[in-house]
Each structure stands twice: as structure tokens, then as C-alpha cells.
A and B are shown apart, each in its own frame.
Chain A
Amino acid sequence: MDGKRCSATILIADDEPNICLALKFLLEDHGCDVRCAMDGEEAIQEIQRSPPDLLLLDLAMPKRSGFEVCQTARSDPKLTSMRILVMSAQCQDVAVEKALALGADGFLAKPFSNAQVVEAITSLIDQGQLNYA
């Protein structure tokens, strides 16, 4: 996305309002259409209501964990084109492996820099040939 505008729709699922705010600001600044969900259940409802191009998903969330959201999304045939980028402070190898096994496309360990998150999203967008302006 560096130097480019991106028209992808992104759903940020994280129960930390501060990071949601910062990421929404950052990604909107790059031209994305960004929505936020504050727990796992809301995240599932949002992706089912209007599937985003990319789900930026925290693992530790109330109501439904990021793993459950990931697994639910992957069991829905309508959501196969949606990319899932997991971000978590649980950075044990097992958590990464479990997230990938349950259908995540990438993993970002918290804390991360703005550049890292932009690069990770760009890479997934490139793989999924999402919409560029």
C-alpha cells in the first residue's frame, strides 16, 4: 500500500479500543474502508453481514476467541476469499501454528510497528489480488 491507495474493506476485531482507533486511523489514511468489532461475536456478525476483504483479528477477545472466529469464517463457503491476518500478544509457536491450522493467512506478533502492519496487509492483499485504486 506504500505509495498506493487501497480500496479494500478491512474489519478490525480487537477488544482494545486504543489499538482499534490507531489502526483505523492508519488504514483509512491509506485509503481502506475500515470497520471495527469489539468482541468475537460482533466480529462474526459483521463478517456474515458484510464480508470484508481482510479481517485483522486479535486472538484474545471476549465472547468468542479469535481462533473461533477464524474457524467459523473458514467453515463458511461465502467467506473463502476473505483474508485473515491474526495479531496477538500470544506469540508462542503453538498459537501461531494453531491459528494457521484453523485458517489464518498470516500472523503478526504484538507489539508491531505501523510499517509492519501495513507490510503484512499489503502482502496479503497482493496474494488475494484485492482492489487497488
Chain B
Amino acid sequence: MQAPFDPTHAVSFDLNRGRVVIGDGDAQVVAPATALVELCVEAGSEPGRAFAAHLGSEIGRRVSKRLPDAARLSPEVVLDHLGGEWALAGLGSLGLERWGRALVLTVDGSPFGPRGDAVVAAALEGSLQRALGRQASVVVLERDDERARFAVLNRKAATQVSAWIHDGMSFGEALERLHREEGMP
């Protein structure tokens, strides 16, 4: 039985030294989210993705440390710890949705807003790769004022779904079509 996520003493503020530490990791920086988004957007797609992937990788590292046998754990347990670490980083509230076989992650209250959805997607890729050892492509499905949805797919499928959504297809229809082309109902 895996213990639930415990954030006690997860974040340390050493005010004398001016140091913020999450867990036993490297030093953190409390920076404005808008400044980070602006940086990523101005830096371009690949530098921005690299930055976000590194951000997510650090989250995945802490998750893997908490859950060394994450491959055998249920989705609820993984979500509990992954979402806990995601919240400690100040990136919003993480959730899971199952659309057929597709794994859909939701982020409520992302500090980056709509302009930072690509940053969030890249951060999610880094987290999954580091925590679970899977190379995934996370694509933005839709978003509203509060919630953004991301599909965890392979690179080919992610490209296809992004194209369908860009053409005006709803994310539900895109996921349904993806299943149908796989010969699944």
C-alpha cells in the first residue's frame, strides 16, 4: 500500500541564505510566471521546449524518488504524487481523464495561461520521461479560462491530432478518429 503524497517539509525557505529548496534537490528560484512564459516565447520553440522539459524533468525526478516502483502503481497513486510535485512547483492542479485508451492530462490554474500551454506540455513530457521512463509527446487538445487538456501520445499520433484540431475538429472527434483508424470503436 503506497502512502499518499505528503508535502510536509517539501519546500524549505532558508531566508538567511536566501535559498529555496524543494525536497533535497537543487536550489529553486521564485520567479514571475509571466516572465518565464515571455522568455520561452521569445526564445523560440525549441529553446522553450528545452527549458520546460528540464523543468518537468526535475518534477519527474522527485516523483521517481517517492515512487521507485511507479510502473506497478495504479493511476490514482501516480496522479497523487505527480500532481503533488506539480503543485509544489507552482504549475497548477493536475488531473487525469481517460478517453478510450488515450491518456489525457488536465491542468487547472496554470500560471502561464494560454500562452504557456506549450510550456506546460513540454514540462509534462519531461516529467513522464523522468518518472516513468517513457518518451511521450504531449499535445494541447483544448483549453478554457481555467482548464487545459493535454493528450499523451506518440509523436506520429500527436502530430496527426494537432493537425485535426487545427483544422477545426473538436478534441473529442480527433480522439475518436484516432481510435477508429486503429480499428477500435
Whether A associates with B in a native complex is no
